[in-house]
């Protein structure tokens, strides 16, 4: 039981290494990948069952690593990381199903490495360990986009990597400074988050240090101004990478804001709150308007993703029980909805070899099941009641109103944002006359239904019965909030 | 005899040799300039040897003359090979280790 | 009382079952199966509603029945359950909605027969019923909002039912988008209301109990924002432009959703929040003014329309305006009474129109019809009754409800509103009878051979005609010796207004004469030789083109958003943000190239560099270390 989190992190990459070292055929790689994802899912289920919602950080494991500098292998999970961990456990098997026919081994290896990287990042409680995993998840994305992507994929792969690394580097400076400062203050080295939280800085230093972290997360989320890597990367990357980018990695940006922003820099964040709030509100509408005239479906939903993540970032900065509950819930439901829509876009691409909207149309006439799922996921993204997105958005809006009535009113524009591009897109892609690339469009087969049904069911369950999930989240949120000095 | 004029001559010869290496493109002239610089150093050594009454400097001069002779042979052999390959003794011709030109 | 939950759950469940059956094989024709399940669901809900009504009869006027399904969200002080409540208002609404709804389902079986997506239609139709019932029966504003949005979704799906034609999808988009704009206001209202009451519960009952703790400015804001939601849902100015376009959906959809039920949700909402609006009468006045202007505006446009369904759409918008006048001025019972009577005659009108359309092979232009009086006798008679009702001619239903509204306006001394309302009554009679005469008169023989109409479609017409004729008597006020059964049953917190009996009689006579005048004028102008309206005078062009409002919205919102999107992509992203990035990348490459030029492979340059380096180091050593 103690080892369970380490197993969750490392099983995928260990299997990948074993398969790679023995040079096994694609059949074995597939089996290995499926086994690793199933094992991970089971282990995560065990963690959920044994999870105590009011227990703070659990399943903690500390192993000394680079002892001279106090860097330890320190992992643990609390309610917030549990949400993202569960998402990874749900999305990865579905993606493996999606790439079942894929014969290029690199695809599979990269996916497994990605899973390790992402899981490790969300579970790390030691800053250097976190940084390690943060970089680890970037490399497979680089290869997936750069090698297996489409369009100007090499250019876009470079763009995403360089911009992300810019952020990571600034974060590294802050981490090292923090570590050194801790040493100065306490005579021993440590990079654990809860140790570093005890440090005190004067306002000026603290602002610069926080900036290092915030830059990394602002680029990841992305907030407006730091986002130009997003649409090209999403547009050029293959579907599994896009799903991970949107559903998991973007969430790690907001997760970072939570864990490290509020973990270490709680008071400094109020200095940055106006900036982040402004950027988030601008981003909410900017991305949505930008998406209207997009002609490539993946880019359009890249912007959609950015818009919703800006809302989540707003919810986090506003820092009260409703907005945090809503943000955490939105992390989960948006990941499910965007995984669904990007997978459907991938399925569309497989059939029509084109994602340009002008070549599409009339899918509802030819493939009703496909159309049904597509419309369902698109409307989930728009926050239709009955799906989880609605509950989340409502909570964030209430939280924003509690903070400030104007911020609340502006955040309510999220109700308007998604519809700007989704309905016109549905009209041109799903309805209307059959487009040039659409003839011969196959409806969903059983494997594809198996991929999509879990996502749809989860979206419905989170929409109809949020009370199943809230009790897991509420205690930890309250704990962190009260630690922040009652910022309610 | 005072050493100052000898210092002056030595410095002058060294500078002439230095400028010659940098500004002249003819390989032979480059070689001559190197020799000039070496001679200047030799002269300085000999002057200081005589000045301090230390024989070590004179010994170094003699050794250097021998080495310079060997070096001359080597240098001229290289020049002949280079001249054979490119039919030119312009040192600017031999720039294969340069940065390849590319547009921004 | 679990009966309540079933009223809502049965249609949803039926929609799910129908949907699954449909998706399993979309091509198979399962008329009997789909029809039986599809009509069974609203029938069951109707039976349950009637049972509810019967139980209500011998309870006190403020009894409320509850049924809690499960807890929905519990976070902080935000405790929302999926729970239903039934008070007098709910009972009345639910009863007639399920009744009219069932009739329209039966009608739809006839109308949609033979359509390739028949099963999908009934699935969506039941989804709509479930959503509407959810909206009405909700015990707290959040669940009501869920129903509110879900009826918007159903409306979108049903308007775009004939999805092969993009024009229908555009209409569906318009409906959803404008609804959402309204919902934007609604959500803000709900959030502010919740936060103002934080800690004291968020069901309608607890809000009513604590309403006095909220300051008037906050209440006014909430009231206005709630009304913004109603503006969208109930097609009042300025969010009405989706309603005429929504006629692109199949006629049963227009009958059920855009006449009898969904569009009245806004009125219901104001009545449900009557306790809130009673605290802010000035906001109520605003609502009444918007309603009055919308009523007049729609009536003017309707007099020049040539599509039979569009005339009815504008007519609905106009009648909704009346309802808002009523609830805005605090006469909630009159407003809901008009919702009630309107449901009957408007559904009847749409269904009759649908019958005519089918008979005329899907022709919708009234000027291509004519002479149908004898061939479609049943339709003609029932629609005549409905037109009399809507024109406010006694003893038909519309007279009593409309009269009550105008009396309330007069009595509360809002003469401007009363004047507009009376003028609109005249116009209503005018354009409705215009439509009736152009379609059914103008000759005695139809121009084309008619298609037969199914039995499913006939019977509901008769029932609704009976209702339109008689149900007005439920609202018979005491001036006429009645006891206003409807109003006293529903026991809403009306702001009671008094006018003398003689004023009431005078008003009644005035309203009736307006109706008769309109009818007579329409007869003179349109019963023989009616031709399409042509533009002779400039103002006619404006009216025919519906005051160019659609074009205005296109200009103000659609085009700018698209241009803005392109602007963002081409300039702000490419040139602005990327520009900053490219400055740094290009300057690195440029500097690198320049430095690279130092390495030109020539020996003498390298010698120079060495010399410079040695000189600098020597100087450094001499000066800093040697101490010169």
ipTM metric: 0.91
Mean pLDDT of C189-211: 87
Please give the backbone phi and psi of residue C336, each rounded to the nearest 5 degrees, phi first.
-70, -35
- Inter-chain residue contact C173 with A398, CB threshold 8 Å: no
Chain C neighbours among B 36-95 (CB < 8 Å)?
A: 91-92, 94-95
Tell me what the pLDDT averaged over chain B comes to.
90
Nearest CA in chain A to C81: A467
- Report how far residue C116's alpha carbon sits from residue C54's, in angstroms, rounded to the nearest whole number: 40
Eight-class DSSP state of C625: I
Phi-psi region of B26 (alpha: psi -120 to 50; beta: other; left: phi over 0): beta
Q: Pick from C73, C165, C188: which is nearest to A466 by CB?
A: C73
- Give the Å distances, CA to CA, from C561 to A292, C326, C576: 8, 37, 19
- Inter-chain residue contact B98 with C602, CB threshold 8 Å: yes
Pairing of strands C78-86, C65-75: antiparallel
In a 10 Å sphere around its CB, with 0-12 CB exposed, 13-18 middle and 19+ buried, how is residue A25 labelled?
A: exposed
Q: Chains touching chain A at 3 or more Cβ pairs under 8 angstroms?
A: C
In this complex, is the C-beta atom of C145 within 8 Å of any C-beta atom belonging to chain A?
yes
* Per-residue model confidence (pLDDT) at position B103: 55
| Of residues C237, C431, C231, the one with CA closest to residue C349 | C431
In this complex, is the C-beta atom of B21 within 8 Å of any C-beta atom belonging to chain C?
yes
Eight-class DSSP state of C451: P
In this complex, is the C-beta atom of A468 within 8 Å of any C-beta atom belonging to chain C?
no
> How big is the CA angle at A397 (ends A396 and A400), to the nearest 5 degrees?
85
Which positions ≥6 away from A468 have C-beta within 8 Å? Answer: A461
In this complex, is the C-beta atom of B101 within 8 Å of any C-beta atom belonging to chain C?
no
Chain A neighbours among C 565-584 (CB < 8 Å)?
A: 565-566, 568-569, 573, 577-578, 581
All residues of chain A having their beta carbon less than 8 Å from the beta carbon of residue C116 are none
- Report how far residue C237's alpha carbon sits from residue C293's, in angstroms, rounded to the nearest whole number: 8
Q: Pick from A225, A368, A420: which is nearest to C23 by CB?
A: A368
Pairing of strands A58-66, C78-86: unpaired
- Inter-chain residue contact A416 with C565, CB threshold 8 Å: no
Determine the distance in angstroms separating the CA of A241 from the nearest CA of chain C, rounded to an integer.
23
All residues of chain A having their beta carbon less than 8 Å from the beta carbon of residue C173 are 423-424, 427
Tell me what the pLDDT averaged over chain C comes to.
88
Using the predicted structure, report yes or no on whether residue C1 has a pLDDT greater than 60: no
Q: Is the dihedral angle over the CA atoms A163, A164, A165, A168 positive or is it negative?
A: positive
| Of residues C232, C241, C362, C227, the one with CA closest to residue C301 | C241
- Report how far residue C531's alpha carbon sits from residue A363's, in angstroms, rounded to the nearest whole number: 42
Q: Pick from C26, C70, C191: which is nearest to A408 by CB?
A: C191
Mean pLDDT of C567-579: 85
Count of CB atoms situated within 10 Å of the CB of C463: 16
Q: Which helix (H) or strand (E) holds C113?
A: none
- Report how far residue A301's alpha carbon sits from residue A304's, in angstroms, rounded to the nearest whole number: 5
| Of residues C336, C338, C340, C352, the one with CA closest to residue C387 | C352
- Report how far residue A182's alpha carbon sits from residue A195's, in angstroms, rounded to the nearest whole number: 8
Q: How far apart are the first and last CA of chain B?
A: 62
Using the predicted structure, report yes or no on whether residue C401 has a pLDDT greater than 80: yes
Do A and B touch, 3+ Cβ pairs within 8 Å? The answer is no
- Report how far residue C92's alpha carbon sits from residue B13's, in angstroms, rounded to the nearest whole number: 118
- Inter-chain residue contact C192 with A362, CB threshold 8 Å: no
Eight-class DSSP state of C213: G
Does residue C357 contact residue C428 with C-beta atoms inside 8 Å?
Answer: no
> How big is the CA angle at B62 (ends B56 and B64), to the nearest 5 degrees?
100
Helices and strands in chain B, H and E counts: 3, 0
All residues of chain A having their beta carbon less than 8 Å from the beta carbon of residue C562 are 292-293
Q: Count of CB contacts below 8 A, A vs C?
A: 133
Q: What percent of chain C has pLDDT over 70?
A: 98
In this complex, is the C-beta atom of C176 within 8 Å of any C-beta atom belonging to chain A?
yes
In this complex, is the C-beta atom of A290 within 8 Å of any C-beta atom belonging to chain C?
yes
In this complex, is the C-beta atom of C603 within 8 Å of any C-beta atom belonging to chain B?
yes
Chain C neighbours among A 389-408 (CB < 8 Å)?
A: 390-391, 394-395, 397-398, 401-402, 405, 408
In this complex, is the C-beta atom of A266 within 8 Å of any C-beta atom belonging to chain C?
no
All residues of chain B having their beta carbon less than 8 Å from the beta carbon of residue C599 are 97-99
- Residue C298: pLDDT band (50, 70, 90) is very high
* Per-residue model confidence (pLDDT) at position A488: 37
- Report how far residue A432's alpha carbon sits from residue C166's, in angstroms, rounded to the nearest whole number: 5
What the block records as the tokens of B27 is 């390989």
Nearest CA in chain B to C586: B104
Does residue C104 contact residue C460 with C-beta atoms inside 8 Å?
Answer: yes
Mean pLDDT of C27-56: 89
Nearest CA in chain C to A379: C153
- Report how far residue A178's alpha carbon sits from residue A170's, in angstroms, rounded to the nearest whole number: 12
- Residue C479: pLDDT band (50, 70, 90) is low
DSSP helix/strand/coil, C193: helix
- Residue C393: pLDDT band (50, 70, 90) is confident
- Inter-chain residue contact C586 with B104, CB threshold 8 Å: yes
Q: Which helix (H) or strand (E) holds C64?
A: none
Which positions ≥6 away from C381 have C-beta within 8 Å? Answer: C465
What the block records as the tokens of B84 is 């054979």
Q: Establish whether the linkage from the previous residue to A450 is cis, with ω within 30° of 0.
A: no
- Inter-chain residue contact C565 with A293, CB threshold 8 Å: yes
- Is the pTM higher than 0.80? The answer reads yes
Nearest CA in chain B to C605: B22
Test the B interface: residue of C588, C602, C606 with most B CBs within 10 Å: C602
- Residue C478: pLDDT band (50, 70, 90) is low
* Per-residue model confidence (pLDDT) at position C481: 63
**pLDDT per position as a tens digit, C350-366:** 999 999 998 888 888 88
Tell me the sheet residues that pair with C83: C68
Count of CB atoms situated within 10 Å of the CB of C243: 26
- Inter-chain residue contact B98 with C611, CB threshold 8 Å: no
In this complex, is the C-beta atom of C595 within 8 Å of any C-beta atom belonging to chain A?
no
Using the predicted structure, report yes or no on whether residue C332 has a pLDDT greater than 80: yes
All residues of chain C having their beta carbon less than 8 Å from the beta carbon of residue B21 are 604, 607
Nearest CA in chain C to B33: C604
* Per-residue model confidence (pLDDT) at position C9: 93
In this complex, is the C-beta atom of C548 within 8 Å of any C-beta atom belonging to chain B?
no
- Report how far residue B18's alpha carbon sits from residue B4's, in angstroms, rounded to the nearest whole number: 21
- Report how far residue C352's alpha carbon sits from residue C390's, in angstroms, rounded to the nearest whole number: 14
All residues of chain C having their beta carbon less than 8 Å from the beta carbon of residue B97 are 599, 601
In this complex, is the C-beta atom of C537 within 8 Å of any C-beta atom belonging to chain B?
no
**pLDDT per position as a tens digit, C411-467:** 888 889 999 999 999 999 999 999 999 888 887 777 777 887 777 787 888 888 887
Do C and A touch, 3+ Cβ pairs within 8 Å? The answer is yes
**pLDDT per position as a tens digit, C499-554:** 778 888 888 888 889 889 998 988 888 877 777 777 777 778 888 888 888 888 88
| Of residues A215, A430, A270, the one with CA closest to residue C160 | A430
- Inter-chain residue contact B30 with C603, CB threshold 8 Å: yes
Q: Is the dihedral angle over the CA atoms A38, A41, A46, A49 positive or is it negative?
A: negative
> How big is the CA angle at A186 (ends A184 and A188), to the nearest 5 degrees?
90
Q: Which helix (H) or strand (E) holds C583?
A: helix C578-597
Q: How far apart are the first and last CA of chain A?
A: 36
Q: Pick from A231, A467, A471: which is nearest to C70 by CB?
A: A467
Q: Establish whether the linkage from the previous residue to C395 is cis, with ω within 30° of 0.
A: yes
Give the per-residue SS3 of chain A.
Answer: CCCHHHHHHHHHHHHHHHHHHCCCCHHHHHHHHHHHHHHHHHHHHHHHHCCCCCCCCEEEEEEEEEHHHCEEEEEEECHHHHHHHHHHHHHHHHHHHHCCCCCCHHHHHHHHHHHHHHHHHHHECEHHHHHHHHHHCHHHHHHHHHHHCCCCHHHHHHHHHHHHHHHHHHHHHHHHHHHHHHHHHHCCCCCEHHHHCCCCCCHHHHHHHHHHHHHHHHHHCCCCCCCCCHHHHHHHCCHHHHHHHHHHHHHHHHHHHHHHHHHHCHHHHHHHHHHHHHHHHHHHHHHHHHHHCCCEHHHHHHHHHHHHHHHHHHHHHHCCHHHHHHHHHHHHHHHHHHHHHHHHHHHHHHHHCCCEHHHCCCHHHHCHHHHHHHHHHHHHHCCCECEHHHHHHHHHHHHHHHHCHHHHHHHCCHHHHHHHHHHHHHHHHCCCCCCCCCCCCCCCCHHHHHHHHHHHHHHHHHHHCHHHCHHHHHHHHHHHHHHCCCCC
In this complex, is the C-beta atom of A415 within 8 Å of any C-beta atom belonging to chain C?
yes
* Per-residue model confidence (pLDDT) at position C477: 67
Mean pLDDT of B69-96: 90
- Inter-chain residue contact A290 with C75, CB threshold 8 Å: no
- Residue C128: pLDDT band (50, 70, 90) is very high
Q: Chains touching chain C at 3 or more Cβ pairs under 8 angstroms?
A: A, B
In this complex, is the C-beta atom of A420 within 8 Å of any C-beta atom belonging to chain C?
yes
Sequential pLDDT tens for chain A (488 residues): 678 888 888 999 898 888 888 877 888 888 888 889 999 999 999 999 888 887 778 888 888 888 888 888 889 898 889 999 999 999 999 999 999 888 888 889 999 999 999 999 999 999 999 999 999 999 999 999 999 888 889 999 999 999 999 999 999 999 999 888 888 888 888 888 888 888 877 788 888 888 999 999 999 999 998 999 998 999 999 999 999 999 999 999 999 988 888 888 877 888 888 999 999 999 999 999 999 988 899 999 999 999 999 999 999 999 889 999 999 999 999 999 999 999 999 999 988 888 888 888 888 888 889 999 999 999 999 999 989 899 999 999 999 999 999 999 999 999 898 888 999 999 999 898 888 888 778 888 888 999 999 999 999 999 999 988 888 888 888 888 887 764 43
Determine the distance in angstroms separating the CA of C73 from the nearest CA of chain A, rounded to an integer.
5
Does residue C287 contact residue C358 with C-beta atoms inside 8 Å?
Answer: no
Chain A neighbours among C 105-144 (CB < 8 Å)?
A: 142
Sole residue written with tokens 């291509």: C368
- Inter-chain residue contact A420 with C169, CB threshold 8 Å: no
- Report how far residue C228's alpha carbon sits from residue A416's, in angstroms, rounded to the nearest whole number: 14
In a 10 Å sphere around its CB, with 0-12 CB exposed, 13-18 middle and 19+ buried, how is residue C539 labelled?
A: exposed
| Of residues A81, A79, A3, A68, the one with CA closest to residue A39 | A3
Which positions ≥6 away from C628 have C-beta within 8 Å? Answer: C622
- Report how far residue A387's alpha carbon sits from residue A377's, in angstroms, rounded to the nearest whole number: 9
Does residue C399 contact residue C407 with C-beta atoms inside 8 Å?
Answer: no
- Report how far residue C250's alpha carbon sits from residue C161's, in angstroms, rounded to the nearest whole number: 7
Count of residues making up chain A: 488
Q: Pick from C586, C593, C601: which is nearest to B95 by CB?
A: C601
- Report how far residue C396's alpha carbon sits from residue C392's, in angstroms, rounded to the nearest whole number: 7
């Amino acid at each position: 039981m103690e080892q369970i989190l380490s197993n969750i992190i490392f099983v995928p990459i260990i299997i990948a290494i074993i398969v790679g070292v023995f040079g096994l055929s694609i059949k074995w790689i597939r089996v290995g990948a499926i086994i690793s994802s199933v094992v991970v899912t089971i282990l995560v289920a065990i963690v959920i069952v044994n999870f105590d919602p009011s227990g703070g950080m659990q399943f903690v494991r500390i192993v000394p690593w680079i002892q001279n500098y106090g860097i330890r292998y320190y992992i643990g999970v609390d309610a917030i990381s549990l949400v993202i961990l569960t998402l990874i456990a749900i999305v990865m098997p579905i993606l493996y199903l999606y790439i079942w026919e894929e014969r290029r081994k690199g695809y599979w290896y990269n996916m497994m490495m990605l899973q390790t990287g992402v899981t490790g990042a969300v579970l790390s409680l030691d800053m250097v360990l976190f940084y390690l995993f943060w970089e680890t998840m970037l490399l497979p994305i680089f290869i997936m986009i750069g090698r297996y992507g489409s369009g100007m994929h090499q250019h876009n792969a470079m763009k995403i990597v360089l911009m992300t690394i810019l952020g990571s580097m600034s974060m590294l400076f802050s981490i090292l400074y923090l570590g050194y400062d801790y040493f100065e203050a306490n005579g021993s080295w440590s990079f654990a988050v809860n140790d570093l939280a005890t440090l005190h800085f004067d306002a000026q230093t603290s602002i610069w240090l926080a900036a290092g972290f915030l830059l990394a997360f602002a680029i990841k989320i992305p907030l407006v101004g730091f986002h130009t890597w997003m649409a090209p990367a999403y547009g050029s990357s293959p579907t599994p990478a896009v799903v991970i980018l949107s559903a998991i990695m973007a969430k790690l940006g907001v997760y970072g804001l939570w864990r490290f922003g509020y973990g270490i820099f709680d008071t400094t964040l109020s200095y940055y709150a106006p900036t982040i709030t402004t950027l988030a509100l601008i981003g909410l509408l900017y991305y949505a308007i930008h998406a209207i005239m997009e002609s490539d479906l993946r880019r359009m939903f890249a912007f959609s993703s950015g818009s919703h993540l800006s809302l989540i970032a707003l919810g986090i900065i506003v820092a009260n029980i409703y907005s945090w509950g809503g943000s955490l819930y939105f992390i989960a439901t948006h990941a499910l909805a965007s995984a669904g829509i990007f997978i459907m876009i991938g399925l569309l691409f497989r059939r029509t070899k084109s994602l340009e909207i002008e070549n599409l149309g009339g899918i509802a006439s030819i493939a009703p099941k496909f159309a049904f799922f597509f419309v369902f996921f698109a409307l989930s993204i728009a926050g239709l009641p009955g799906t989880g997105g609605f509950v989340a958005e409502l909570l964030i809006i209430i939280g924003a109103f509690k903070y400030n009535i104007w911020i609340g009113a502006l955040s309510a524009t999220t109700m308007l944002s998604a519809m700007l591009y989704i309905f016109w897109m549905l009209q041109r892609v799903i309805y209307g006359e059959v487009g040039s690339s659409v003839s011969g469009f196959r409806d969903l087969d059983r494997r594809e239904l198996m991929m999509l049904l879990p996502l749809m069911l989860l979206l419905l369950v989170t929409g109809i019965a949020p009370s199943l999930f809230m009790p897991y989240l509420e205690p930890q949120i309250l704990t962190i909030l009260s630690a922040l000095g009652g910022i309610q | 005899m005072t050493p100052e004029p000898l210092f002056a001559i030595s410095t002058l010869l060294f500078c002439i040799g230095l400028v010659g290496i940098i500004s002249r493109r003819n390989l032979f002239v480059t070689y001559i300039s190197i020799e000039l610089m070496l001679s200047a150093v030799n002269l300085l050594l000999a002057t200081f040897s005589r000045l301090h009454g230390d024989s070590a400097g004179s010994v170094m001069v003699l050794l250097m003359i021998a080495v310079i002779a060997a070096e001359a042979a080597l240098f001229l052999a290289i020049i002949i090979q280079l001249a054979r390959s490119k039919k030119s003794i312009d040192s600017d011709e031999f720039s294969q280790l340069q940065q390849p030109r590319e547009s921004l | 009382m679990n009966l309540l939950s079933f009223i809502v759950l049965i249609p949803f469940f039926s929609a799910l079952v129908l949907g699954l059956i449909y998706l399993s094989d979309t091509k198979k024709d399962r008329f009997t199966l789909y029809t039986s399940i599809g009509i069974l669901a609203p029938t069951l809900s109707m039976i349950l509603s009637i049972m509810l009504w019967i139980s209500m009869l011998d309870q006190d006027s403020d009894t409320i029945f509850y049924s809690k399904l499960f807890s929905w969200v519990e976070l902080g002080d935000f405790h929302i359950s999926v729970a239903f409540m039934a008070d007098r208002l709910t009972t009345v609404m639910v009863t007639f909605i399920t009744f009219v709804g069932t009739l329209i389902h039966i009608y739809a079986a006839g109308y949609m027969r033979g359509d390739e997506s028949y099963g999908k239609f009934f699935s969506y139709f039941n989804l709509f019923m479930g959503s509407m019932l959810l909206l009405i029966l909700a015990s707290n504003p959040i669940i009501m909002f869920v129903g509110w949005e879900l009826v918007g979704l159903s409306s979108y799906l049903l308007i775009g039912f004939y999805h092969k034609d993009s024009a229908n999808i555009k209409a569906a988009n318009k409906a959803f988008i404008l609804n959402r704009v309204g919902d934007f206001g609604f959500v803000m209202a709900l959030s502010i209301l919740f936060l103002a009451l934080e800690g004291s519960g968020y069901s309608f009952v607890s809000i009513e109990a604590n309403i006095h703790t909220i300051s008037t400015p906050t209440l006014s804001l909430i009231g206005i924002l709630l009304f913004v939601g109603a503006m969208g849902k109930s097609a009042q100015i300025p969010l009405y432009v989706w309603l005429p376009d929504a006629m692109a959906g199949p006629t049963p959809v227009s009958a059920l959703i855009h006449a009898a039920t969904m569009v009245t949700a806004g009125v219901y909402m104001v009545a449900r929040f009557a306790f809130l609006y009673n605290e802010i009468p000035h906001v109520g006045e605003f609502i009444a003014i918007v309603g009055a202007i919308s009523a007049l505006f729609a009536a003017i446009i309707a007099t020049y329309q040539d599509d039979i369904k569009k005339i009815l759409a504008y007519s609905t918008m106009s009648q909704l305006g009346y309802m808002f006048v009523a609830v805005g001025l605090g006469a909630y019972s009159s407003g809901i009474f008009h919702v009630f009577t309107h449901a009957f005659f408007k559904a009847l009108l749409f269904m009759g129109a649908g019958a005519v359309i089918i008979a005329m092979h899907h022709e919708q232009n009234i000027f291509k019809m004519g002479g149908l009086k004898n061939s479609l006798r049943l339709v003609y008679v029932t629609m005549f009754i409905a037109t009399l009702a809507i024109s406010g001619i006694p003893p038909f239903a519309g007279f009593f409800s409309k009269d009550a509204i105008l009396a309330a306006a007069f009595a509360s001394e809002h003469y401007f509103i009363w004047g507009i309302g009376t003028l609109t009554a005249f116009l209503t009679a005018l354009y409705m009878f215009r439509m009736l005469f152009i379609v059914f008169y103008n000759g005695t023989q139809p121009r084309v051979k008619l298609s037969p109409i199914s039995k499913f479609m006939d019977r509901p017409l008769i029932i609704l005609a009976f209702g339109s004729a008689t149900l007005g008597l439920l609202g018979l006020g005491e001036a006429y010796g009645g006891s206003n059964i409807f109003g006293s049953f529903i026991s809403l917190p009306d702001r009671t207004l008094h006018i003398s009996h003689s004023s009431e009689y005078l008003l009644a006579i005035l309203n009736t004469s307006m109706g008769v005048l309109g009818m007579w004028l329409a007869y003179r102008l349109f019963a023989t030789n009616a031709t399409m309206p042509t533009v002779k005078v400039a103002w006619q062009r404006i009216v025919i083109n519906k005051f160019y409002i659609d074009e205005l919205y296109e200009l103000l919102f659609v085009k700018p958003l698209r241009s803005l999107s392109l602007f963002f992509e081409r300039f702000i992203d490419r040139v602005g943000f990327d520009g900053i990035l490219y400055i740094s990348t290009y300057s690195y490459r440029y500097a690198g190239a320049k430095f690279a030029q130092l390495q030109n492979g020539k020996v003498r340059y390298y010698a120079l560099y060495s010399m410079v380096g040695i000189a600098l180091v020597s100087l450094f050593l001499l000066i800093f270390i040697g101490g010169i």
